[in-house]
Chains A and B, each alone.
Chain A
Amino acid sequence: MAPTLQHTVSPFLEPGPRTKPNSLAVLQLSRDNFVPVYLQEASGEHDGYVEGAVINTRYGSFPHSTLLNVPWGSQVRASKVDTGSRGRKRKRQLDEEAGCETSEPIEDENEKGNSNGADKEHGDGDEAKQLVTDASGFIHVLPPTPEIWTTSLPHRTQVVYTPDASYILHRIRARPGSTLIEAGAGSGSFTHASARAVYNGSPVEGKRQGRVFSFEFHEERYHKMKKELSDHGLDGVVTLTHRDVYAGGFLVGGKSPEADAVFLDLPAPWEALPLLSRQRPQLKEGEVGEAGAKPWVSPLHPKKSVLLCTFSPCIEQVTRTVSALRHLGWVDIEMVEIANRKLHTARDRVGLYLPVDRGVNNSAKDVEEAITKLTEIEERFRENARPKQSADGTEPAKQESKAATNGKTPMNGAALKYPWLDGRLVTRGEPEIKTHTSYLVFAVLPMVWTEEDEAVAMAKYPLGRERFVVSVMGKASMKEERREAMQQKQGNRKSRRKDRDEKLAEVEG
């Protein structure tokens, strides 16, 4: 999209207080209409615009210079930009190129266009300062976040949306300092969310850097994604590799990423799972054991439990994945489906006497209103049915009743004055909902615990010094337990008393 961009820190992670040149910003045109833009400083004419780079929207034209170095969230008015002559100019340029003419006439035309333009302020040197606002509209400039990016990114594949992504990252405990493997980078929606989750600042000696190791099989997607990541300044956090993970595995540069969280968005996760093992995967039938020469390196963190999530749309994929997970020793396997709904609020305006308007339901708002209306109709009907006395008498009567209805309009003054306070506040779901995105399978792979580890731990925390009891049961249940144990040993109070009485009787006897 943009030429070479330089960053210190990604605008996704530390946007700073204001918009910066050569950095990503998101323009909000309307409620759900976001346009990502790489802002550029004005340096002479750009693409035929004297103002430098310009964004044209249906709310008007916005030269980048008006969007630069403003606080994030700013509302920016459109500027008057000469878009018309640029088009003509281009056409002419093409014609001229075809006719092999000199470029001088074009410059002349340019100056002429400027002086004749609607706003005569457009000079040659300091255009940016003399821009004139246009009443065509405005936009807001927002800092990029994974949520906005997910709704505005160029779709290359099915996207993992925020409700799923946020839940997954929460469940696989991707937090600052985590190392995450993502297979199937796709459109990069999840990549951005996970980069934000694991990011833990600039590299410091002794601190484990949060990293995302992302893999993409499709070459074109890989290149696009690579460019995107570097444009977004996420190179330091995300390592993208072009690879078929079913065959190639998850090592990067022959080294283990030491991941403690895994997200698989693959058509066949069970093919990749054996490579995410702590031990060398068992060879499939017919495969030659040539790998025996090289020692097996696990891509997982050796000293941590690894949490995994797979993202599959079909139940058959889930069944196979879960079966593979069980055979590979993963525990706490759980399958979950997320249903997300957006809700819109509105003012429900119902009433017979409300002005006819968009979004107004002109029917009776309650029984009383209906009865009033019906009575009115009945009255009118009876009036009409009455034998006419004279033409003069009837006419004014009719008008009178009409006037009465208008006067009766049961509208309070406040509602008329403030239409936004009128009507009942209601919420309803959006017109179209996503009923199914994908099934999420979660699992945990505990670390390997060997006899030696056990011996070390045993030596450090020897037995035999137990002094007190910590119970998971409440105090009441513990008491109950003790009482039961006592009873079993000695019998209940009645039987004890009986025993004692018998003994006494014996002694006495």
Chain B
Amino acid sequence: MYSIIRPNTWVAIRLPSGVTRNILVTPNATISLGKYGSFPANFIIERPYHITFEIEDQRPDEKFSRIRIVPASELYAEIFADEESPDCSAPTADAAKSVISAEGGAEFTLVDAESGKLVTRSNGEVIDENARQTLTQDEIEELKREGNNAGKDVIAKLMLSHTALDQKTSFSLAKYKLLKTKKYIRRFQILPVDVPNLAHWQLEERDASKILDLRAEMIALVGSWGNVHYGGDSVYLEDPQATCEQGEEALAPLREDLLKGRWLVVDDTGGLLVAAVAERMGVLFPELDEDKSNLDEQTKRQRQEAEAEAEENQDGDVVMADVQDSAEKPNDGAKPKKPRSSDFEIPFSQTNTITVVHSASQPSLAFLGYWNFDAVAPSHVEHPLCRHLMCLTWLQLLKPELDTAYSTPPLTASTELLASWKPSRRGNFHRKRRRFARTKHIVEATRAGGFSGLVCASTMDPISILKHTLPLLAGGAPVSMYSPTLEPLAALADSFSVSRRTAWTSGTVPEVVVKTVEELERWEGNEQFPLNPTLLLGTSIQTSRARRWQVLPGRTHPLMTERGGTDGYVFTAWRAKPAEGKVAAKGKFKRRKLETGSAAESEAAETPIA
């Protein structure tokens, strides 16, 4: 993933101003960076990520600008110079001349007591920058137009023609230079579009509310507490080889023993959470050659040739409505042709899968497009998510009989009849049968439960989500729910409060006593007990916040401003399998009581939740 920039992938371009932009790198395009210039895309295809490029001045005989790699030593030249000066923080240029003495009364002046050296000059003297800049805007524009060594000349000239430069403190000088550099230097860096980068871009530069203000540290916490990880090697159900005359009865039966490593996801962040979960499960990025360890050179070359061929053949119509066709159209020269699979073949793996439950009739997973995956119409390019991502609606989960796609029996037709149809009608027939088989499988597998965890970032009430998903979780499975605001999670945690649990288990609630454990697992909820409080263990709410620092010689401090808004909160717990009947817990606290009476008392009060 991180090696080189592949053609036709999304990348993030970071501009000198710190702004990042996502673009699709298409061969034979010209990439324009606005005021920073433009260059041919072929210059960055198959080049490494994270390298800093500089747009060179256009040569007189060429119609495009070339780019060059800026070595790290050049990037850090100034910092190195700062480091080498004996006292990092002292002003470098003739400091002595314009020193304001300590008793001069400038309260901003800082003098190091030991060495008597000046640390900071008063900034009272520095006046409006524009007044001191002798270059006019027109002159600057002129400078920019003529060859200017990638903007460096402009910056140098600006610095030179600033009359009050020697009156600036070293800090404001550095700041001034940085400001001008951001504006004029023609450098850029290419970053891969992955979950951390995309989330950062969406949060800082786009609409943070679209991803529910999900910051990197919260994505990490949600995934981590959800115990999301690779869920086992892919296992597929055998193709039932159903003929066109066969209906529902020919479907491959669900094998619950094969289901393993499955995570339930409720996502209202436009697919960012699903992408984060997929990244942790290793199904977000297509497998690439460099990820494979022992491929001999020959297969590699073969593949490359095939790739190049495929690229030439490919003219526009990439989007094909079905996964099915991929089996017939090998996109890989080295692979042997697979026999045609029947309509009822289940394309999904039984392990390492993500099941998304969505509230609209189609899942909203637009962000997956940045990894070339379209959840609504999977393209024929084999993407790991095609086989590991399953979507169903809440209706299909809870009342499948009301859903048309699930409850309409599949069409059947004899071979002769089928042959007499027009190709488009035949295609429709197969498409509907395939959709039926897939929907049936997804719904049955989800309702069978046994999920390895629940990960959630939703605008829906968390209590209502848990009411219907808790029965689907395997024992010990973690629950990890993100919310941008605290209140919904607090209400959720309160429904598992100690006093609720004590009342529930003590057998004083008449509705509860009459029910069996199995019935209580599917507790419908009432006013006093919105959820069965014994179904979750170790409920806890937490929040994290990353604070960024500037690290420069003699100028290290936290950043002055950062994004505000909500911090975001995560509710975590584990699914419990409560024992049948009344459970008492008196505990043994003799020894503790001797040590600290009050501590033991509080422990005793907590006992029931253990």
Interface residues of A (CB under 8 A from B): 13-15, 17, 28-32, 58-60, 70-77, 135-143, 145-147, 162-163, 165-167, 169-171, 173, 175-177, 193, 196-197, 199-202, 204-210, 260, 303-305, 307, 315, 318-319, 322-323, 326-327, 329-345, 347, 358, 418-421, 425-427, 439, 441, 444, 446-447, 449, 454, 456-457, 460-463, 465-473, 477-478, 481
B29 surroundings in chain A (CB, below 8 A): 466-470
Known: A13-B229, A17-B474, A319-B551. A462 touches B42 (CB 8 A): yes
Check if B592 is an interface residue, CB within 8 A of chain A: yes
CB contact under 8 A between A343 and B574, given known A30-B607, A142-B476, A449-B69: no
Our pick among A17, A205, A341, A446 for the contact of B50 (Cβ within 8 Å) is: A446
**Contact indicator A201/B233 (Cβ below 8 Å):** yes
B576 at the interface (CB under 8 A from A): yes
CB of B469 closer than 8 Å to a CB of A: no
Does B291 interact with chain A (Cβ within 8 Å)?
Answer: yes
In chain B, positions 538-575 with a C-beta closer than 8 Å to chain A are 538, 540-551, 553, 556, 558, 569, 574-575
Residue B28 CB within 8 A of the other chain: yes
- Is B71 positioned at the interface, with any CB of A under 8 Å from its CB? yes
Q: In whole Å, how far is A304's beta carbon from the nearest beta carbon of chain B?
A: 5
A150 to B176, CA, bound (A): 47
Distance in angstroms between the alpha carbons of A330 and B75 in the assembled complex: 10
Q: How does the 8 Å CB contact mask read for B211-228 relative to A, with 1 for contact and 0 for none?
A: 000001101110111010
Q: Assess whether B544 is in contact with A140, with CB atoms less than 8 Å apart.
A: no
Whose C-beta in chain A lies nearest to the C-beta of B257? A17
Chain A neighbourhood of B38, CB < 8 A: 469
Pair B578/A75 contact, Cβ less than 8 Å: yes
Question: Of B224, B294, B544, B606, which is within 8 A of A30 by CB?
Answer: B606
Contact A341 B542 (CB under 8 A): yes
In the assembled complex, B31 has its CB within 8 A of some CB on chain A: yes
CB contact between A167 and one of B217, B225, B476 (< 8 Å): that residue: B217
Give A93 to B539 CA distance when docked, in angstroms: 46
A75 to B540, CA, bound (A): 19
* Beta-carbon contact of A343 and B569 below 8 Å: yes
Chain B contacts for A421, CB-based, 8 A: 528
The smallest beta-carbon distance between A360 and chain B, in angstroms, is 12
Given A339-B546, A345-B493, A466-B42, 5 new contacts (CB under 8 A): A30-B609, A167-B544, A427-B541, A466-B30, A471-B34
- B497 interface neighbour in A202, A338, A345, Cβ under 8 Å: A345
Question: Are B547 and A477 within 8 A (Cβ)?
Answer: no
Give Cα A473 to B35, complex, Å. Answer: 9
CB distance from B445 to the nearest CB of A (A): 16
A74 touches B223 (CB 8 A): no
Contact A470 B32, CB 8 Å, known A59-B587, A147-B227, A197-B280: yes
**Do A71 and B475 touch (CB < 8 A)?**
yes
Option from A210, A345, A425, A449 in Cβ contact (under 8 Å) with B51: A449
Are A137 and B486 closer than 8 Å at their CB atoms? no
What is B's interface to A at a CB cutoff of 8 Å? 1-4, 7, 13, 15, 21, 23-24, 26-35, 38, 40-43, 45-52, 64, 69, 71-73, 75-76, 79-80, 83, 189, 194-196, 216-217, 219-221, 223-225, 227, 229-233, 260-261, 279-282, 290-295, 450, 474-478, 486, 490-491, 493-494, 497, 499-500, 503, 528, 534, 537-538, 540-551, 553, 556, 558, 569, 574-579, 583-589, 592, 603, 605-607, 609-610
**Does B576 contact A140, Cβ atoms closer than 8 Å?**
yes
Docked pose: A457 CA to B38 CA in angstroms: 19
Instruction: Report B-chain residues with C-beta under 8 Å of the C-beta of A176.
Output: 229-230, 280-282
Report whether B548 and A208 are in contact in the complex, using a CB–CB cutoff of 8 Å.
no
Contacts of A333 in B (CB 8 A): 551
Cα A122 to Cα B41 in complex, Å, equals 80
User: Are B609 and A207 in touch, CB under 8 angstroms?
Assistant: no
Closest to A326 in B: B76
Interface contact B547-A339, CB-CB below 8 Å: yes
A137 B50 Cβ-Cβ under 8 A: no
Among the listed A32, A59, A471, which residue makes an inter-chain contact with B588, where contact means beta carbons less than 8 Å apart? Answer: A59
- Supposing A338-B545, A427-B490, A470-B23 touch, asked if A418 and B528 sit within 8 A by C-beta, the answer is yes
Contacts of A76 in B (CB 8 A): 579
B34 lies within 8 A of A73 (CB): no
Q: How far is the CB of B343 from chain A (nearest CB, A)?
A: 30
Q: Are B291 and A208 in contact, with the CB atoms below 8 A?
A: yes
Contact call B292/A207, Cβ cutoff below 8 A = yes
In Å, the complex CA distance between A13 and B229 comes to 8
**Known contacts being A167-B544, A345-B494, is A138 close to B583, with CB within 8 Å?**
yes
- In the bound complex, do residue B546 and residue A338 qualify as a contact, i.e. CB atoms below 8 Å apart? yes
**Do A420 and B34 touch (CB < 8 A)?**
no
Tell me the bound Cα distance from A472 to B196 in angstroms: 20
Nearest CB of chain B from residue A147's CB, rounded to whole Å = 6
The listed residue (A15, A202, A337, A470) touching B26 by CB distance below 8 A is: A470
Residue pair B282, A72 in contact (C-beta under 8 Å): no
Nearest CB of chain B from residue A213's CB, rounded to whole Å: 15
Checking A13, A173, A202, A472 against B2 with a beta-carbon cut-off of 8 angstroms, the contacting residue is A173
Partner of A465, one of B28, B33, B541: B28
Q: Judging by beta carbons under 8 Å apart, are A162 and B224 in contact?
A: yes
Return B522 CB to nearest CB of chain A, in Å: 16
- Which residues of B sit under 8 angstroms from A58, Cβ to Cβ? 587-589, 592
Q: Is the CB of A330 within 8 A of B28?
A: no
Residues of A within 8 A of B528 (CB): 418, 420-421
Question: From A195, which residue of chain B is reached at the shortest CB distance?
Answer: B229
21 contacts between A and B (CB under 8 A): A14-B232, A14-B260, A135-B585, A138-B610, A142-B574, A167-B546, A171-B196, A173-B2, A173-B196, A323-B553, A337-B549, A338-B217, A341-B543, A345-B493, A347-B497, A446-B48, A461-B46, A463-B64, A468-B29, A472-B23, A473-B33
3 smallest CB-CB distances across A and B, nearest first, come from A72-B476, A176-B282, A73-B475
Beyond A135-B586, A331-B72, A469-B32, is A31–B544 a contact (Cβ under 8 Å)?
no
Nearest CB of A to B170, in Å: 17
CB < 8 Å neighbour of B224 from A141, A193, A210, A478 = A193
Contacting A337 at CB < 8 Å: which of B64, B220, B546? B546
From B21, B45, B225, B476, A472 is in contact (CB under 8 Å) with: B21
Give the docked Cα–Cα distance between A197 and B279 (Å). 10
* Docked pose: A337 CA to B41 CA in angstroms: 37
Which listed residue, A71, A204, A318, touches B476 by the CB 8 Å rule? Answer: A71
The residue in chain A whose Cβ has the minimal distance to the Cβ of B215 is A167
Check A71–B474 contact: CB distance below 8 A. yes
Compute how far the CA of A315 lies from the CA of B607 in the bound complex, rounded to whole angstroms.
43
CB distance from B64 to the nearest CB of A (A): 7
Task: List, in ascending order, chain A residues with CB within 8 A of B592's CB.
Answer: 58
CB-based contact B224/A147 at 8 Å: yes
**Pair A137/B585 contact, Cβ less than 8 Å:** yes
Given known A-B contacts A207-B292, A304-B290, A425 and B491 have beta carbons under 8 A apart: yes
The answer, among A175, A327, A337, A426, for a CB contact under 8 Å with B280, is A175
Which of A137, A142, A337 sits near B607, CB closer than 8 Å? A137
Residues of A contacting B217 in the complex (Cβ-Cβ under 8 angstroms): 163, 166-167, 170, 338
Contact A339 B450 (CB under 8 A): no
B261 touches A14 (CB 8 A): yes
Which of chain A's residues has its CB closest to B219's CB? A170
Tell me, in angstroms, the Cα distance from A48 to B55 when the chains sit together: 79
Question: Inside 8 A of B490's CB, which chain A residues have their CB?
Answer: 343, 345, 425-427
CB-defined contacts of A344 to chain B, threshold 8 Å: 541
A462–B64 Cα distance when bound, in Å, is 13
With a cutoff of 8 Å between Cβ atoms, the chain B residues found around residue A358 in the complex are 605
| Contact A427 B548, beta carbon cutoff 8 Å | no
CB proximity of B488 to chain A, nearest CB, Å: 11
- Docked Cα-Cα span, A184 to B548, in Å, equals 24
Q: How far is B264's CA from A293's CA once the two chains are assembled, in angstroms? A: 56
For B189, the chain A residues whose CB sits under 8 A away are: 331-332
Give the distance to chain B from A108, nearest Cβ to Cβ, in Å. Answer: 30
| Residues of chain B contacted by A340 (CB below 8 angstroms) | 542-545
Asked whether, in the complex, the Cβ of A166 is within 8 Å of the Cβ of B34, the reply is no
A202 x B233 contact (CB < 8 A)? yes
CA distance in complex: A342, B585 (Å): 27
CB closest chain-A residue, reference B12 = A472
